[in-house]
Amino acid sequence: MLKIENLTHVYPNGTRALDNVSLEVPAGMFGLLGPNGAGKSTLMRTIATLQVPTSGAIRFDEIDVLAQPDALRRTLGYLPQDFGVYPRVSAYDMLNHLAVLKGYSDGRERKEAVDALLNQVNLWAVRNKAIAGFSGGMRQRFGIAQALIGQPRLLIVDEPTAGLDPEESNRFLNLLSEVAEDIVVILSTHIVQDISNLCQRTAIIAGGRIVQVGAPQDLIRDMRGRVWKKAIDKQELDAHREAYDVIATRLSGGRTVIHVLADSDPGNGFSAVEGDLEDVYFSTLSSLRRAA
Class of domain 221-291: alpha beta
pLDDT, residue 292, reads 65
pLDDT, residue 23, reads 96
How would you label 249-283 residue by residue, b for 16+ Cβ within 10 Å and e otherwise?
A: eeeeeeebebbbbeeeeeeeebeebebbbbbbbbb
How would you label 73-109 residue by residue, b for 16+ Cβ within 10 Å and e otherwise?
A: bebbbbbbeebebeeeebbbbbbbebbeebebeeeee
pLDDT, residue 156, reads 94
pLDDT, residue 11, reads 94
CATH code for the domain defined by 2-219: 3.40.50.300
Residue 133 to residue 124: CA distance in whole angstroms: 15
pLDDT average per 10 residues of sequence, the chain (292 residues): 97 95 95 91 94 97 96 92 77 93 90 94 94 87 90 91 79 84 89 88 95 94 92 93 92 89 93 91 86 69
Residue 34 to residue 30: CA distance in whole angstroms: 13
Residue 234 to residue 84: CA distance in whole angstroms: 43
Q: Do domains 2-219 and 221-291 have the same CATH topology?
A: no
pLDDT, residue 270, reads 96
Domains of the chain by residue range: 2-219, 221-291
pLDDT, residue 81, reads 76
E-state strands within the chain:
2-10, 16-25, 28-33, 55-60, 63-64, 76-79, 154-158, 184-189, 201-206, 209-214, 227-232, 246-252, 255-261, 271-272
